[in-house]
């Protein structure tokens, strides 16, 4: 069975993902910015989830080159996720040259000891994806969330294939970004074990909230029917060996 992780950034999206059959939740704020650390109220809602919840650990938008103060904040956020009883965390850090920052990642993983850990799409900024896979394996990550260095996973299939080969089953390579039933066939040749998606639909926008700047007009939310449709598409694929 190919498992589906669904990313959400509000309580309604969380409920929709669960109702649609998500196998795991990635809990975030501000998915329009790629996902930030979720707020306490959303974390509290997620503690009732019947499926595992992993929390994004990212203190701001922009790159993944973090200052010592930001790393301290991220460590505190990880402690909060553990205290809330969440199953795992999703994190990443780069050096200025784009390579993974093993020193920062080691600090964060030490704080997350006993929790599952996913290396997020900071890996898509690295100059050598296969070397990044080796770093992730050596550091003890359970999975890598990646689009193969492209904006959408189906555009990065060649790099994803190289990352699957480099991983050789030692961790899970989880394609994400733009994964839908329509784009899934482009990924079907990969030895998929898990995929990541938002399964979101546009929210209504307009009127005074938009005029006042309280909306961008591009907001989306996870939809249970989209989740169920992607689950059905995944169930039709025959898992391939690594």
The structure tokens listed for 54 are 């992993």
pLDDT of the residue at 239: 65
What does the pLDDT profile of the chain (242 residues) look like in tens digits?
999 999 999 999 999 999 999 999 999 999 989 999 999 999 999 999 999 999 999 999 999 999 999 999 999 999 999 999 999 999 999 999 999 999 999 999 999 999 999 999 999 999 999 999 999 999 999 999 999 999 999 999 999 999 999 999 999 999 999 999 999 999 999 999 999 999 999 888 778 877 877 777 778 899 999 999 999 999 999 767 66
Residues 6 or more apart from 111 whose CB is under 8 A from it? 74, 75, 78, 79
pLDDT of 77 reads 98
CA angle 176, 17, 87 (to 5 degrees): 75
pLDDT value for 242 = 67
CA distance 3 to 176: 12
How far, in Å, CA of 75 to CA of 66, rounded?
12
**Domains of the chain listed by start with CATH number:** 3-235 (3.20.20.380)
What integer pLDDT is reported at residue 206 of this predicted model? 73
């Amino acid at each position: 069975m190919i498992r589906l992780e669904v990313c959400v950034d509000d309580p309604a999206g969380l409920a929709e993902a669960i109702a649609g059959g998500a196998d795991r939740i990635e809990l975030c704020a501000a998915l329009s910015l790629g996902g930030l650390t979720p707020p306490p109220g959303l974390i509290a809602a997620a503690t009732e989830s019947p499926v595992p919840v992993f929390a994004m650990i990212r203190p701001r938008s922009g790159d993944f080159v973090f200052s010592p103060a930001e790393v301290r904040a991220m460590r505190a956020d990880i402690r909060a996720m553990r205290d809330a009883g969440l199953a795992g965390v999703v994190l990443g850090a780069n050096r200025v040259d784009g390579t993974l920052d093993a020193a920062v990642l080691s600090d964060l993983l030490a704080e997350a000891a006993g929790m599952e850990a996913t290396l997020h799409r900071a890996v898509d900024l690295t100059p050598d994806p296969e070397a990044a896979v080796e770093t992730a394996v050596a550091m003890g990550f359970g999975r890598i969330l990646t689009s193969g260095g492209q904006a959408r996973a189906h555009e990065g299939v060649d790099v994803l294939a190289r990352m699957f080969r480099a991983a050789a089953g030692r961790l899970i390579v989880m394609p994400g970004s733009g994964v839908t039933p329509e784009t899934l066939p482009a990924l079907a040749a990969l030895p998929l074990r898990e995929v990541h998606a938002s399964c979101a639909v546009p929210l209504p926008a307009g009127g005074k909230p938009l005029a006042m700047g309280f909306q961008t007009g591009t907001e989306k939310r996870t939809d249970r029917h989209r989740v169920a449709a992607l689950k059905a598409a995944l169930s039709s694929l025959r898992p391939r060996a690594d």
